[in-house]
Amino acid sequence: MISVLTPSIETRARMLLECIASVQAQTYQEAEHLIHVDKELRGCAWTMNHLAEQASGEWLVPLADDDLLLPGALEVLLAYAAEADVVYSPPLVWGNADSMHFFGDPPRIPSFGLIRTTLWRELGGYDLGRRREEDRDFWTRALERGARFARADAWPTWVYRFHGGNKSYNQGVAS
* CATH number of 91's domain: 3.90.550.10
Pairing of strands 31-37, 2-8: parallel
Does residue 65 form part of some domain? yes
Q: What is the pLDDT of residues 107-157, one digit of tens each?
A: 988 889 999 999 999 999 999 998 888 999 999 999 999 999 999 987 789
Does residue 7 form part of some domain? yes
Does residue 43 form part of some domain? yes
Residue 96, pLDDT score: 62
Does residue 83 form part of some domain? yes
Torsion of CA 39, 42, 46, 47, to 10 degrees: 20
Residue 170, pLDDT score: 42
Does residue 63 form part of some domain? yes
Return d(Cα 151, Cα 109) in angstroms, integer. 10
Angle formed at CA 85 by CA 91 and CA 140, multiple of 5 degrees: 75
Residue 90, pLDDT score: 86
List the chain residues with pLDDT less than 70. 95-102, 162-175
Distances (CA, A) of 51 to 78, 79, 102: 21, 24, 25
Residue pair 150/79 in contact by the 8 Å Cβ criterion: no
Does residue 174 form part of some domain? no
CA 12 from chain center: how many Å?
Answer: 17
Does residue 165 form part of some domain? yes
Return d(Cα 121, Cα 53) in angstroms, integer. 9
Residue 17, pLDDT score: 98
DSSP state at residue 163: -
Return d(Cα 20, Cα 25) in angstroms, integer. 9
Residue 35 pairs in a beta bridge with: 6
Residue 173, pLDDT score: 37
Does residue 175 form part of some domain? no
| Domain region containing 145 | 2-169
User: pTM of the entire structure?
Assistant: 0.89
- Domain count of the fold of the chain: 1
Angle formed at CA 120 by CA 44 and CA 160, multiple of 5 degrees: 45
